[in-house]
């Protein structure tokens, strides 16, 4: 099967010569959840930023459905939906108005009923649909963010630490939703600090440390393994990076 998201020797060196990514390679197939684990500054967000063409790689390439993101950024972006760590929307617009705007921006047209149906699906209370965003909690905003991603109906979804700061129930519901999207054959790349959920819900887990992908295991390979122990070991640099 052709990968929907693919990193090929992705390297990023910033102007101050900091090596943020060092020849990172991985791929995410349709219907697969890829969890990227790693501490702060490990390179997870840099990888995501390259996929979204917020920055260009110094070397290597990121591909979305075979499209090189830094060569054809607009074409690549039509195939990605993005949910950030802290979804921020227009505070003076209602949830529905925000959804309407961002889905139109993604080139989709929905009637209000469809928008309400997706907001219900992500678990937002009905009375919040027509409320302005400025009163929303982080969890409610994350739900709106995932609703926007669902409505974009892109084949790939990239999530940057989407459950950080969410209460356990909200986190659980969020992951449940991701599982549903996986069933819809979406390729999902997610950076997270949540080792437990990464092991429980992901098809592939990658651990990044100091810009390198130091470990990559499938769900099957992780069976019987203590992921937390592995994480600590790889983060401490006990083991060698995964070869490209």
Partner 1 sequence: MFKIILLKEMRETIGSAKFVFSFSVCTVLILLAFYVGARNYQVNRAQYEASVRENLRQMEGLTDWGQVESQIFLPPTPLAALISGLSNDVGRSIKVEAVGELISENSRYGEDPIYAVFRFLDLEFVFQVVLSLFAILLAYNAVNGEKEQGTLKLTFANAVPKDRYILAKLSGVFASVVVPMLLPILIGCGILVIMDIPMNGSEWLRLAMIVVAGLLFFMVFLNLSIFVSAKTERSSYSFLILLIAWIFFVLIVPRTSILLAGRAIDVPSIDEIHAQKFRNQSQLWTEDMQKIDAFVPPSNDPEKAFAAFNTFMNTTRETRETKIAEFNQRLNEDRNNRQAVQREWAFGIARFSPATSLSLAVMSLAGTSHAIAQQFLDQARSYQQSFAQFIKSKNNGETGGHMVRVKIGGAPQEKAKPINPYEIPAFHFQSMSVGEYITPALTDIGLLIGFNLMFFAGAVWAFSKFDVR
Binding stretches for partner 1 (CB under 8 A): 49, 52, 54-55, 73-75, 77-78, 80-82, 84, 86-93, 97, 101-102, 104-107, 145, 148, 152
For residue 108, the minimal CB distance to partner 1 (Å) is 10
- Give the Å distances, CA to CA, from 227 to 7, 144, 194, 238, 242: 23, 31, 11, 14, 16
Nearest distance from C-beta of residue 95 to partner 1, angstroms: 14
Q: Looking at beta carbons only, is 74 or 236 nearer to partner 1?
A: 74
Q: Which CB sits closer to partner 1, 92 or 218?
A: 92
The counts of H helices and E strands in the chain are 9, 10
Q: Please state the closest distance from residue 67 (CB atom) to partner 1, in A.
A: 11
Strand ranges inside the chain, DSSP E: 5-13, 19-28, 33-38, 59-64, 67-68, 80-83, 156-160, 187-192, 204-209, 212-218
- Contact between 61 and 70 under an 8 Å Cβ cutoff? The reply is yes
- Nearest residue (CB) to partner 1, 90 versus 172: 90
Minimum CB separation of residue 136 from partner 1 in Å reads 13
Rounded Cα distance, 132 and 57, in Å: 38
Q: How far is the CB of 184 from partner 1 (least distance, A)?
A: 19
C-beta of residue 129 within 8 angstroms of C-beta of residue 95: yes
Give whichever of 93 and 110 is closer to partner 1, judged by the CB atom. 93
147, two tokens: 């609703």
Nearest Cα to Cα of residue 36 among 14, 15, 16, 10:
10
Nearer to partner 1 (CB atom), residue 141 or residue 197: 141
Nearer to partner 1, 61 or 160 (CB): 160
Task: Decide: helix, strand or coil at residue 19.
Answer: strand
CB of 57 to partner 1, least distance (A): 15
Instruction: Report the DSSP beta bridge partners of residue 68.
Output: 63
Residue 124 DSSP symbol: -
Judged by beta carbon, residue 88 or residue 244, the one nearer partner 1 is: 88
CB 105 to partner 1: min, Å = 5
Sign of the Cα torsion 96, 97, 99, 103 reads: positive
């Amino acid at each position: 099967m052709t990968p929907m998201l693919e990193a090929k020797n992705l390297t990023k060196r910033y102007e101050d010569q900091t090596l943020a990514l060092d020849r990172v390679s991985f791929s995410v197939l349709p219907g697969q959840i890829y969890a990227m684990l790693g501490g702060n500054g490990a390179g997870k967000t840099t990888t995501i930023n390259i996929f979204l063409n917020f920055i260009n790689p110094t070397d290597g390439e990121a591909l979305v459905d075979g499209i090189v993101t830094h060569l054809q950024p607009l074409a690549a972006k039509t195939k990605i939906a993005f949910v950030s760590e802290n979804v921020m929307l227009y505070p003076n617009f209602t949830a529905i108005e925000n959804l309407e705007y961002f889905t139109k921006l993604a080139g989709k047209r929905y009637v209000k009923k469809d928008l309400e149906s997706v907001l219900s699906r992500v678990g937002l209370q009905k009375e919040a649909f027509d409320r302005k965003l400025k009163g929303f909690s982080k969890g409610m905003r994350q739900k709106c963010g995932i609703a926007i991603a669902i409505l974009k109906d892109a084949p790939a979804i990239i999530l940057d630490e989407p459950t950080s700061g969410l209460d356990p129930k909200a986190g659980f519901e969020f992951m449940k939703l991701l599982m549903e999207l996986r069933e819809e054959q979406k390729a999902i790349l997610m950076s997270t600090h949540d080792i437990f959920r990464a092991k429980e819900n992901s098809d592939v887990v990658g651990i990044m440390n100091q810009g390198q992908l130091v470990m990559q295991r499938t769900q099957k390979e992780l069976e019987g393994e203590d992921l937390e122990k592995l994480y600590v070991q790889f983060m401490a640099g006990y083991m060698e990076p995964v070869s490209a």
